[in-house]
Amino acid sequence: MITQRVRDHCLTKPGAWLDEPWEGDLVAKVADKIFAFLGDTTVGLKCGRDADDGAELRARYPDDVTISAYIGRYGWNTLRLDGAIAAEEIFEAVDRSYDAVVAGLPKSKRP
């Protein structure tokens, strides 16, 4: 199942851990920052600095990628896990999201 594979992939990242900051909502964090919102059939990821940066993935997969509610203006997209996006591309998007969040951490908090 791709959902479990995405969660497992998130946890392979240095310093990554699972949290449930809101009841029923699972996220992957590094230090104290979220890099993936883990849904049952979706994953929310940082895909750029702002909504325009995240637009490329939405343009390629209009039925499977949407701008994330509330945080989309900061470059977050929601990707459908059971759609047309190949698993490898989803894993690469997780990697980029993790890297972007780590780059924004103070050096003392980076893994």
Q: What is the CATH number of the domain that holds 53?
A: 3.90.1150.30
**Residue 41 DSSP label:** S
Q: With respect to residue 95, please indicate whether it lies within any of the assigned structural domains.
A: yes
Tokens in use for 57? 């993935």
In this prediction, residue 54 carries a pLDDT of 87
In this prediction, residue 78 carries a pLDDT of 98
Q: With respect to residue 108, please indicate whether it lies within any of the assigned structural domains.
A: no
> How many domains are there within the chain?
1
Global confidence as pTM: 0.94
In this prediction, residue 33 carries a pLDDT of 98
Range of 97's domain? 2-103
Give yes or no for a contact between 78 and 68, defined as CB atoms under 8 angstroms apart.
yes
Q: Which residues of the chain have pLDDT under 50?
A: none
Rounded to whole angstroms, how far apart are CA atoms 65 and 13?
23
In this prediction, residue 53 carries a pLDDT of 86
